[in-house]
A and B are shown apart, each in its own frame.
Chain A
Amino acid sequence: MNPFSLMDKTILVTGASSGIGRAIAVVCSQMGATLIVTGRNESRLSETFSVLEGGGHLQITADLTNLQEMEKLVESLPKIDGLVNNAGIVNPLVLQLTEESDVNDIFLTNTLVPVHLTRLVLQHKKLNKSASLVYISSINGNNCAYIGSSIYAASKSALTGFMKVVALELSPRGIRANCINPGMIETDLLKAVSIGEEELEKDRLKYPLKRYGKPEEVAYAATYLLSDATQWMTGTSLLIDGGYTLQ
């Protein structure tokens, strides 16, 4: 038995319509998992669904920032062995121009959605014994800081704090919870934070490994945390940043 295999595991991935979420869904399917992919954009979610390997997968279009939609989604789920809380947004904004609605929007998607989804899969008893919960956090707010991202950083470090208590509370059932803290990853999200291609290239060179990460590289880490290879890993944050925070 390959300890890194995801054969016979059912895994729910949020934000699967693009970027890191899509890569996680695809790599998990390549490792043998049955996927339930969810995202807001139906056509892009279908694109993800069409590139999954193997059969038996499900796609559910849902806006998880709407709690009723989330509850409906959770009620419709089969029992799962893995949950990847990936959906996230970023909105570069200096603090002096930040408004209440900016704070609420970012915390809702980045922190409250994972909190409520975790709560609901528990309350609806959808987690199999020894399930693995993975939270896509960030180096930002946990390992370093960037200008214009105070609320994003707060939302991601709050997620890390939440994950630690979940890890502790669910440990009697063998359920594990871990974060992944990626550095900059080449996704469409970059378009929202980018300061232009020239600056992006300069920023890439600040990484000791001289480039940003690829979505698949975060997916490989998620696969690892979802697999039985990490049955004694819980409450940790896996840093994947090309060495950025060494400096």
Chain B
Amino acid sequence: MEITDFIKDFAAQFDDTDVSDFSLETRFRELDEWSSLNALAILNMIGKKYSVILKPEEMKTSNTIQELFDLLQSKLGLNESVFIDG
């Protein structure tokens, strides 16, 4: 897993923020465009592309892209189903 790819995948979940504005140090919660919709899209992207199901409260501990990347790396290979019986 390359961090440059991860930054691109992360940036792809935003419409109005330029890709060049994203770096390891980007404090993504402070972006003008940040919303709960981006947050969900990033969780979905991580689930789809990296097969890691992150809980929203886990994601909340990350403020920069680097921190989120580190969290993702610590979780690689530990998967659980997102579907639950109703």
Chain A interfacial positions (CB closer than 8 Å to B): 15, 17-21, 39-41, 44, 86-94, 96-97, 99, 105, 136, 147-148, 187-189, 191-192, 194-199
Contacts and interface: CB of A to CB of B under 8 A. Distances in A.
B85 A94 contact: no
B84 A189 contact: yes
Contact of B44 (A97, A189, A191): A97
B86 A21 contact: yes
B40 interface: yes
B29 to A, nearest CB: 14
B56 A97 contact: no
Interface of B: 36-37, 39-41, 44-45, 48, 55-57, 60, 82-86
B86 A147 contact: no
Residue from the set B57, B82, B84 with the largest chain A CB neighbour count within 10 Å = B84
A87 B82 CA distance: 16
A89 B40 contact: no
Contacts of A196: 55-57, 60
A192 B82 contact: yes
Nearest to A199: B56
A96 B82 CA distance: 18
B45 A97 contact: yes
A136 to B, nearest CB: 8
The 5 closest A-B pairs by CB, nearest first: A196-B57, A88-B86, A195-B56, A97-B44, A94-B41
Nearest to A92: B40
B45 A105 contact: no
A148 B60 CA distance: 18
Residue of B40, B48, B55 with highest tally of chain A CB at under 10 A? B40
